[in-house]
Amino acid sequence: MKINDITLGYKAFVTSFVMKSACKYYLKLSKLNTLSFPTSEDNKKRLLYLHIPFCFSFCSYCTFHKFHFEENTARYYFKLLRKEMTIIAEKGYNFGAMYLGGGTPTVLPDELAKTIDFAKKLFDIKEVSCESDPDHISSPILENTVDRIDRLSVGIQTFDDNYLKMIGRYEKFGSGEQQLEKVKKIIPHFPIVNIDMIFNYPGQSEQSLLDDINKVLSAESSQITFYPLMFGNEKGFGIKNKEGYKSLKTEKNLYQLILKEMNREDYLQRTSWAFSKDRAEIIDEYVVDNDEYVGLGSGAFSFIGDTFYVNTFSLREYEKLVNNNNISIIKGISFRKHAIKQYRMMVDIFGFKFKHSFPKAEFGLLKLAGAVKKNNNKYYVTENGKYLLSVMMSEFYSGMNEIRTKMRSKLNTEDENFSASHP
């Protein structure tokens, strides 16, 4: 092992430890008055995030907020979601872009189309991004989403059948080869298609990852995103209990392989994780390009001003709040200016940008670690820095997953349904 490899491994360990500690220190939720969500008195075009918390079945690694799909429940949820959109509009908010996540936002294509159309009428939305899975990228999905969605993100995760079986997606979506053919067919129908991939599975070899890289490149999608495997503490995720599920040493080696293989003329690296063709600014981590965003729907997050807001995870409480003309937030965290600067520094540099005023001490440490350097009076992110920022962002998202886990742990069976009186 080279000296610089040892040094980078040590820096990654320290980065991981510091970010875990920071998340535990900062991400402490407190109860909020649900009427306290601020009104907007400016013309700022924020991002609107809509959370659709329904899946036909669950993946073993996923900690996102979701319930098992039931059609009547999901249809009523979409209706409430559109009502919540009118409430936020009455508070003066406008949005230039919208992101639909889940769960599986495409569980009801007709309701999804109705919601997108409603949002475009209500707000000044110019760009719509939406998540999907390999089974929801064909008719009738296409009939309801083509010409409505500008950027479709399809979660493939891996083409390795062994890992597909490990994470519970082989039975759901078929073999790696079958999923590859599905995603190839969808690409011509949307302006931008992103393929999500995961690396650093337990015991994953470089050859396994190389096979994944070659197969995803053969699809020729607009964008490819490689995420390191991440977890929260929620029980029932079988992978978590496997020995060596999160090896920083292996993660570093696999990440460096990704950088090597994606160093191509037809793809340009946009963040530590995302590689895009030709067009700028087509990434899916919406927090990178948006200082503020509003999340609607059960389990959604918002960041406005100096406060991070968390919506209720209970469907029953969500129904009550929205029907009483309230935004569905129930908890939040207010941050001091220095903490916000730290956060903006992380997401900016993760996205290879230096557009904000960074805290001097923390930015100095990144320079000392060799994560950023200056050339011709402009800073840039080094190859080692890309990995350190990947570790940093991974721990940040794991911290957010901890919030989801804590919020979901308080749910009971009644919270998984609306009141019996709903239409």
CA distance 229 to 226: 9
pLDDT at residue number 35: 60
Contacts of 312 (CB under 8 A, 6+ apart): 298, 299, 318, 321, 328, 329, 330
Total domain count, the chain: 1
Q: What are phi and psi of 125, to 5 degrees?
A: -80, 125
HSE of 200, CA atoms in CB hemisphere, 13 A: 25
Phi, psi (rounded to 5 degrees) for 282:
-120, 70
User: For 234-291, what is each residue's pLDDT tens digit?
Assistant: 444 445 444 445 577 889 999 999 999 999 999 999 999 999 986 555 555 666 777 8
Query: Does some domain include residue 261?
Result: yes
Report the CATH number that the domain containing residue 267 is assigned in CATH: 3.80.30.20
Cα 384 to Cα 7, 369, 381, distances in angstroms: 10, 9, 8
Residue found under tokens 């306290």? 36
DSSP-H helix ranges across 262-382: 286-289, 315-323, 337-350, 360-368
Close Cβ partners of 68 (under 8 Å, ≥ 6 residues apart): 54, 55, 56, 57, 58
- Residue 102 has phi, psi (to 5 degrees) of -165, -155
352 within domain boundaries: no
Whether 232 is covered by a domain: the verdict is yes
3-state secondary structure of 172: helix
CA atoms of 114 and 143, how far apart (whole Å)? 12
> Which residues are within 8 A (CB) of 36 and not within 5 positions of it... i.e. 6 or more apart?
none
Q: Is residue 300 part of a domain?
A: no
On whether residue 14 sits in a domain, the answer given is no
Are 30 and 331 contacting, i.e. CB atoms less than 8 angstroms apart?
yes
How far apart CA 275 and CA 269 sit, in angstroms, is 4
* Whole-structure pTM value: 0.92
Q: What count of other Cβ atoms lies within 10 Å of the Cβ of residue 281?
A: 10
Q: What is the pLDDT of residue 58?
A: 85
Q: What per-residue confidence (pLDDT) applies to 322?
A: 96
Answer whether residue 199 is part of any domain: yes
Q: Which residue has the tokens 């569980």?
A: 107
Residue 43 pLDDT = 81
- 195 vs 283: CA distance, rounded Å: 11
Give the pLDDT score at 37.
86
Q: Please indicate, yes or no, if residue 333 is contained in any of the structural domains.
A: no
Range of the domain at 241: 37-289
| Residue segments in the chain with a per-residue pLDDT below the cut of 50 | 1-3, 234-238, 240-244
Residues in the chain: 423
Q: State both tokens at 223.
A: 């964008």
Strands (E), 126-202: 127-132, 151-157, 192-199
Bridge-based pairing state of the strands 192-199 and 223-228 = parallel
Paired strand residues for 131: 153
Residue with token string 């962002």 = 393
In a domain, 368, yes or no: no
d(CA 323, CA 383): 50
